[in-house]
Amino acid sequence: MSENFGVVVVADFEFEISGGDYNLRSGDIPMPLCLVAHVLDEDLRHVRTIRLWRDELLAAKCPPFDVGPDVLFVAYSAQAELMCFKALDWRFPVHVFDLHTAFLARSNVLLPYNPDEKRNKPRKRLSDACRAYGIEGWENIDKETIAKDIGEGHWCKYGRERILDYCEEDVRMSVRLLRAQLRGLPGLPPADIERVLFWSSYGANCVALIQARGMPIDMPMWNLVQENKGAVIGELLRWFDPSYGSDAPIYTPEGEWSYERFEQYLVRTGVAAWPRLDSGRLNVDSDAFRLMYHVPGIEGLHALRDSLSFIVKARLPIGRDGRNRPSLFPFCTATGRNAHAKSPYNAHAGMRGFIVFPRDAIGVYLDWRTQEIGVAAALSGDTALIDAYRAGDIYHALALVLGFTDDPDPVNWKRTNPAMRNRMKVLQLAISYGMGVPSLARGLDRHALIASEIIERHKRSYPRFWQWRADMVQSAMLARRMESVFGWPLHITTSPNQRTLYNFPMQSGGAEMLRLATMRLCEAGIVPVMLVHDGILFEEAEHERIEQAKEIMRSAGRDICNGLTIDVEVDQMLKNGARYHDKRPVAQQMWATVMRALEAVGAMRKRKHHELRYATGPAHRS
């Protein structure tokens, strides 16, 4: 530390997220209650302690410590601290070391593959990180209860000094954790300071800025749906549950899914080839459903499955300003992607109709074109795959390779063969991520010999890709480690799931692309309102800034992909209060069904057919 920073500030805020003196709602920007900071010298020796209460924080025009280039700001899950900076209108620190991100990088371990074992994802709180480094603390403190009470505005029962003491205990533990991370332990090597600083620039600074903005939600429409939840659920079930009206429907009238009744439905309808896990249970993740879209009713059932919990549970954190501020959870997947939760992007695309931008703003969703395949082409150096990607439609190229079309025009093929193109999307990713012959045959509803021939044709067409993929896995198994382009690590134990290793370079490359673009966008003052898997949602006033954002995203793609341009497409361009409308037919049908349900109970006036899909502005009661 002494080589780079003369001062180290380890800090922690306590803040309210609901209730309290400010009557906050989940989704509001947190309101700081107190701040404790330990100021250390370059050798991490204690210099002074800062303890400030809310009145002192609100009166301060700047942080009570330097945040310039010679100072390192340290916190655990630092985006929360920087959200408090944002609430107080303080300048962000130049350099941030997020202890949480450093711990995630050291504890990102791929366990032995065992599909029969149900595993709970280990928690990664400050206390968990300290425990991993052998640091004990918080004696005689019910940490979870106090944290919950503070967050919900019930801190008065403890009193000011006790809250400050509690906050300072977190800071003391954070200081000990920092020293342990820099020193390292057997099995936990010292943190890579340069990389943690780079990752923290995204995971703390950028994420705080994005979460502070939030996505605009049509609150009158959201409230109408919640007030008429039963009618909406009933209409969705009637239109999208293929077993609706039978003696054993997949869903209950309240919208609860049953694995057993789904399995019975497949048996009744003669679907014998549904993808299964190694344990023998049905695979019910999104990729399995997409692979089976050729079965009548399955695409609609998948849409229903991804929508009902969104409506039934209604867990969107929406602030008093009508903004949805979901937690982005940076680096919380094995590949380093975000694990965002509680947003319209965590439901079926049809539910994104709740997003409506102000009339004086332009809402734009930009995404990278077939990002993961572009990453695979670039990193593998397979010239045939690179040429296929550059041709403009990788799915058309795959259909040609596999003999599913002889149409040389990708534009005409895309227009006239939407169903085949959707199948090629699933097939391309399935092959890239190592799906075997039996699973592919089930997904295609074809004989295993046909599935085998498809895989062999892909191997012959893209041999360098297949060799690169095998070499990557072999190297990872020998080193017990894989890394992304910029060094995000995956630590490997024995007997890993090989498909996860196949998947890692493409997914982690996509994650790097999103992070790099986001940092450059924020540096340019173009702060997104949401980050998604391979796309970014913006709210801007000028077209020029949208064009600048597109070029920044393209440049990030080139830097990750060795100069290969990963093109950026406009998926949504929303003006004059236009509602977000996904282009896919099932998504449009889903939104239209919600509107019909509201009309049927008299909650809103009847609209013309095109208005059901593309209605602008907030909903109004009839």
User: CA–CA separation, 44 vs 509, rounded Å?
Assistant: 35
| Contact yes or no for 340/326 (Cβ under 8 A) | yes
Which pLDDT belongs to residue 142?
85
Length of the chain: 622
In tens, the pLDDT along 427-485 reads 888 888 888 888 787 767 778 888 899 899 999 999 999 999 999 999 999 999 999 99
Per-residue pLDDT band at 308 (split at 50, 70, 90) = very high
* Long-range pairs for 260-265: beta carbons < 8 A, 24 or more residues apart: none
CA 473 to chain centre: 25
Average pLDDT of every residue of the chain: 92
Highest mean pLDDT among 196-210, 305-319, 385-399, 404-418: 196-210
State how beta strands 7-16 and 31-41 pair: antiparallel
In tens, the pLDDT along 118-160 reads 778 889 999 999 999 999 988 778 888 999 999 999 999 999 9
Residue range 29-38: average pLDDT?
98
CA angle 573, 574, 577 (to 5 degrees): 175
User: CA–CA separation, 79 vs 111, rounded Å?
Assistant: 28
CB atoms within 10 A of CB 542: 9
Question: What percent of the chain is modeled with pLDDT above 90?
Answer: 80
| Contact yes or no for 99/79 (Cβ under 8 A) | no
Residue range 360-367: average pLDDT?
97
| Contact yes or no for 11/63 (Cβ under 8 A) | no
Phi-psi region for residue 525, left (φ > 0), alpha (ψ -120 to 50) or beta?
left
Which pLDDT belongs to residue 1?
56
Instruction: Establish how many alpha carbons lie within 13 A of residue 73's alpha carbon, considering only the half-sphere containing its beta carbon.
Output: 27
In this structure, what token pair is assigned to residue 399?
A: 């259909």
User: CA–CA separation, 282 vs 429, rounded Å?
Assistant: 20
In this structure, what token pair is assigned to residue 616?
A: 């602008």
Residue-range domains of the chain with CATH: 7-209 (3.30.420.10)
Q: Which residues are CB-contacts of 283 (< 8 A; sequence separation ≥ 6)?
A: 274, 275, 276, 277
Q: Which amino acid is at 236?
A: L
User: CA–CA separation, 130 vs 173, rounded Å?
Assistant: 7
In tens, the pLDDT along 6-32 reads 999 999 999 999 999 899 999 999 999
Residue range 572-600: average pLDDT?
94
CA 242 to chain centre: 30
Per-residue pLDDT band at 2 (split at 50, 70, 90) = low
Give Cα separations from 128 to 80, 111, 133, 362, 493 (angstroms).
18, 18, 9, 43, 21
